[in-house]
Structure 1
Amino acid sequence: MEIIQQWDNFLKDASEEEKETAALYLQSMKRKREGKNGTHIGALMGISSKFDEPGTLTMDIDNSILLQNSLDILHGGLTATLLDSAMGTLAFKLLPSDKAAVTTEMKINYVAKGIGSSFICVATVIHKGSKIMVMEGKVFRDDEVLIAHATGSFFIIPKK
């Protein structure tokens, strides 16, 4: 019961921004519990994904106060997380069920501000070898402006 009391005490004195942020945290925990996201970070970011065609994966996120840096733009580290998640998920999906993919290297170029109400990340395959996969990822704002471009290498390992 201590956590409930802490929560109640926090909400009594919370600003509207703190209440909005707390609601976003609760929504992310619900998404994780319901299986809408496989990881807590994916749930926190509100990631949804789909395969558009063979060899292409799209991930979408809505902008929120949780994702912004002190300049009120999408945090660069979360942009990197979105790129890594999209490229890694695509790599993983293209492998046999006894294999997995882990990031070995990623290079990102940030080219525009991460502003707007939502972001789309598109991941594609550059090379699929027997030990390494090379992927490309691009993040776009809702006005279709490219904000980041990445390439990533993924080591293929046995799934435990």
Structure 2
Amino acid sequence: MTTTDDRAALSGLEVLRRFQDAQDTDTPNIGRLMGMTFTELEEGRVVMSLRTRPDFVNPIGTVHGGVAATLLDSVMGCAVHSALAPGVGYTTLELSVNYIRATSTDDRLLTGEGKVVHIGRSLATAEGRIVDEKGRLIAHGTTTCMVFPAPR
């Protein structure tokens, strides 16, 4: 991975591609913690997947909703990031998640896709969906992100 100064000279898509290439390293990050991997990466669109596991269980025995929220936040935020010019940063202002069906913790593949809806000078919006191995909708959502000059 590159330093913060190096990343300021790269577009968001270039930063994410470097991150994708290094995703199997031991660098601590939310993707590694959750077992997320990039499966598709293009400007304005990001697809990531993860496998459910017993660590994700909630009190009723299914995958905790926070897993879906984290996957949606990641794909939607990265979709926004992928469309940003060098020297531009972002942060999530709002995240809305709609849960459609519960998921088992027994090694199910969940795939999240995020797409940019709008990018302006100070705000960006994106939408996302999570499906299971059978293509069934698990959750969907939207996000609003603040866009700003990246700190050096």
- In the other structure, the counterpart of 1:61 is 50
Report the alpha carbon displacement of residue 82 of structure 1 after superposing the two structures with TM. Answer: 0.8
Larger radius of gyration: 1
Report the alpha carbon displacement of residue 109 of structure 1 after superposing the two structures with TM. Answer: 0.7
- In the other structure, the counterpart of 1:145 is 136
Counterpart residue type for residue 85 of structure 1 = S
CA distance in structure 2 between the aligned counterparts of 1:142 and 1:73, rounded to whole angstroms: 16
Counterpart residue type for residue 134 of structure 1 = T
Evaluate the alpha carbon distance shift between residue 143 and residue 71 of structure 1 in structure 2; reply closer, same or farther with a 3 A threshold.
Answer: farther
Q: Mapping of 1:14-93 within 5 angstroms?
A: 31-33=24-26, 35=27, 39=29, 41-51=30-40, 53-93=42-82
CA distance in structure 2 between the aligned counterparts of 1:87 and 1:60, rounded to whole angstroms: 13
- In the other structure, the counterpart of 1:103 is 92
CA distance in structure 2 between the aligned counterparts of 1:73 and 1:97, rounded to whole angstroms: 41
- Higher share in helix: 1
Return the TM-score normalized by structure 1.
0.72
Secondary structure of 1:80 counterpart? helix
Secondary structure of 1:108 counterpart? strand
> Could you tell me which of 121, 138, 158 is aligned with 2:149?
158
Structure 1: gaps of 5 or more residues:
1-29
Report the alpha carbon displacement of residue 125 of structure 1 after superposing the two structures with TM. Answer: 1.0
Aligned residues: 127
Question: What percentage of residue pairs aligned between the two structures are identical?
Answer: 28
CA distance in structure 2 between the aligned counterparts of 1:50 and 1:77, rounded to whole angstroms: 21
Q: CA contact under 8 A between 2:45 and 2:82: conserved in structure 1?
A: no
Secondary structure of 1:81 counterpart? helix
Secondary structure of 1:92 counterpart? helix
